[in-house]
Amino acid sequence: MRRIVYVMIFLTLGHAAFAQSAAAVRDYVCLINQNYHPDIVEYMNKIRERLEKNGETDGVKAIDAIIKGKGGSGFIYVDQGANYVITNNHVVTQSYTLSATFEKTNGTKTKYDNLSLLYVDEENDMAILAFPKGENPFREGMAFAARAAEEGETVFSAGFPGLVNTQLWQFGQGIVSNASARFPDPDNEEKTMGPYIQHTAQVDPGNSGGPLLMAQGGAPSGYAVVGINTLSVRNRQASNFAIPEDRVKGFLSKALGEAPGDGKKDLEERIDSFLDGLGANRAVYPHIAKYVSSVCTAQNTEFCLDEMFEKASRTVQRNIMKTFASDPVAGMQEAVAWVMENTLRGGSTKIQASVDSITENSQGGFTVTFAMNGATVESEWIKEFGIWRINSFGELVKGDKSLITAKEEAREQEKNLKTDYHLMLSLSYAQILDRGAAGNAELKLKGDYTGWVISGFYAGSDFFQVQTGLTIEVPIRFGSAGFALIPFIEGGIGMMEKKNEQPDSWLSSSADSKIRKIMSEIQGGLLFTTSALPGVYVKAVYQKNFYSNSSDDLAPKPDKTIILVGLGYVF
């Protein structure tokens, strides 16, 4: 009985110590939220307005979630009094500013805004954030473990995974199942990714960037960092991966401790890597996307997505939209990269590129001129988060807002060219050759390329003609110039009535008698419309009549040829 009591006391104290230590860990682990570049927010709000106008409430909620920014986890690191937040690169990639929120067990929250992205390691998926204006709100941060984690050893995960639309604190426990896990690199079969610590502590979306811990006496929270949680395999039970602490320390040494290198030499190495990937015999925009700066993505998103939807293949559109669905900003980045690739190819199947010149510019970056498939392409490179990236490229990817304005104007011109109409009403001046002037009114009902027409001519008591027929027309649009031409032909039948000009003939006994004849007609003409006057048409027509009796007394030649000029309006 005494033993049972001792065990119960031990377990109770152990649980209390675990809970107290876990609460202490919360002081150093934060929720990270991205804030996107204003240009990205502006573009997403445009999409939101369209969805809201169409009553697509689910789409509106999805856009709201995107604008809110994706989140992840991070933890405090203090180096010689300076405060930093360590996380994964994929948690903060393409952010404009960042915020970090700390939550205590009683629900109180402390939020720090405008954290900046100080340095990233894209290959190893790590990032370090700095507090604004040199702020240092923490006296101490998480300590790193004195040794590496071993297989079978108990480890703990900490972070803020998502639950529906909320990210909640989670402290999990598991064991190390593989202390040095490696697996094939999906981008390069000859390389492997790792090593990682494979473990079974709970990791869910939102845990990325949070620490993997093990108990260590003397550490500020009772736990020490053995890695950064970064991957989780969804179709395999409790198969989670963390970047080991020795790789994290190497990253910190490079980010905080190393003296700055030769900027131009670093850029040259980066450009060599960029050019190597362009030679692949496949689409290379996913490769190019890795080199596009966050500012370049933001400033060119609207134009490049528009270009992609207009000109890219269905396969490219589908793949980029698949990326967009999981990470909207990454999808935007790929759209920008696709426009760059399309510029590079210039109609060729393979990109052949070399560097012409590298010159330093006044903004602290470099202007790099490439020779690509016989063309010269100028680009601007900046150092973003310690990595050289493309900030502008060629004439289409340079943040020029006038490009999207020109597209919108051209689209508005196209919209105002009313060549796809269903009803036209028109009035025309008609000249019946060698007879004189007449008025003409016409109604046309049209489908895609064919239509039904009824029209009439009137020249007082001297001449009246009504006709009906079928028309065929083919629009030729000059959208960029803002006008369209529509050549057409028409054939039909009708009735002509005119004054008897030979009253003494056997046809009639008085001067007031009329001649009425059934006739057929054929005409050809041209319609002209402009986007400046949407729906208004100018028409020019040449018509030839054919009568059932062609004798001169019944159908004099002047009635056979008619020329029309008029105005119409379409609905």
Beta strands 353-360; 366-372: pairing state? antiparallel
Helix (H) or strand (E) holding 246: helix 245-252
Same domain, 387 and 426: no
- Distance from the first to the final alpha carbon of the chain: 95
* Pair 469, 453: CB distance under 8 Å: yes
Which residue, 523, 529, 353, 305, is CA-closest to 424?
Answer: 529
Residue 276 maps to which CATH number? 3.10.450
**Token pair belonging to 255:** 């980010």
Write b or e for each residue in 280-318: b if 16 or more Cβ atoms lie within 10 A of its Cβ, otherwise e: eeebbbbbbbbbbbbbbbbbbbbbbbbbbeeebeeebbe
Last residue of a domain, one of 204, 237, 257: 257
Q: Last residue of some domain: 237, 257, 277?
A: 257
Q: For residue 88, what are its two tokens?
A: 């994964």
115's enclosing H/E stretch is strand 109-121
Q: In degrees, to the nearest 5, what angle opens at C-alpha 515 toward C-alphas 514 and 521?
A: 135
Mention every residue, 6+ apart, whose C-beta is less than 8 A from residue 5.
none
Q: Does residue 164 sit in the same domain as residue 296?
A: no
Query: Is 408 within a domain?
Result: no
Residue 14 lies in a domain: no
Residues 226 and 273 in one domain: no
- Tokens representing residue 479 in the block: 């959208």
Say whether both 371 and 427 belong to one domain. Answer: no
Q: Of 523, 422, 425, nearest to 469 (Cα)?
A: 523
Q: Are residues 385 and 267 located together in one domain of the fold?
A: yes
Tokens linked to 272 = 């060599």
Using DSSP, state whether 326 is helix, strand or coil: helix
Q: 384 and 462 share a domain?
A: no
Reference 523, options 541, 539, 538; nearest CA is: 541
Q: Both 224 and 186 in a single domain?
A: yes
Q: What is the pLDDT of residue 70?
A: 76
For residue 559, the model assigns a pLDDT of 72
* CB 275 within 8 Å of CB 306: no
How much is the pLDDT for 557? 55
Q: What is the mean pLDDT of each run of 10 residues along the chain (571 residues)?
A: 44 41 83 89 87 83 79 94 95 86 91 90 92 90 92 95 83 95 79 91 93 90 94 83 94 79 82 90 91 92 92 93 86 94 78 91 90 89 89 93 87 88 96 89 95 94 92 92 94 89 51 78 96 95 83 55 96 93
Q: What domain count does the chain have?
A: 3
Q: Which of 481, 455, 452 is nearest to 466 (CA)?
A: 455
Quick one: 334 and 431 in the same domain? no
Contacts of 123 (CB under 8 A, 6+ apart): none
Question: Reduced to 3 states, what is the DSSP secondary structure of residue 460?
Answer: coil
Max Cα distance, the chain (Å): 144
346 in any annotated domain = yes
- Would you state the pLDDT for residue 54? 83
What's the one-letter identity of residue 181?
A
**CATH (domain of 123):** 2.40.10.120
**Contact indicator for 331, 347 with CB cutoff of 8 Å:** no
Question: Can you name the residues that pair with 438 across neighbouring β-strands?
Answer: 430
Full residue range of the structural domain in which residue 536 is found: 416-570
Q: Which of 215, 234, 257 is the last residue of a domain?
A: 257
Answer whether the bond into residue 195 is a cis peptide, omega within 30°: yes
Q: Which residues pair with 467 in a beta bridge?
A: 455, 494
- Alpha-carbon torsion (101, 102, 104, 105), positive or negative: positive
Residue 10 counted as domain residue: no
User: Which CATH number does the domain housing residue 556 bear?
Assistant: 2.40.160.20
In the block, tokens 């003939």 appear at: 505
Shared domain check, 392 and 345: yes
Given its phi and psi angles, is residue 206 left (phi above 0), alpha (psi -120 to 50 degrees) or beta? left
Report in angstroms the alpha-carbon separations of 126 from 101, 115, 220: 19, 16, 23
Query: What are 160's two structure tokens?
Result: 């803020």
13 domain-assigned: no
* Closest CA relative to residue 330, chosen from 46, 50, 89: 89
Nearest CA to 273 out of 290, 251, 295 is that of 290
Domain co-membership, 309 together with 246: no
Pair (58, 168) in one structural domain: yes
Residues 249 and 281 in one domain: no
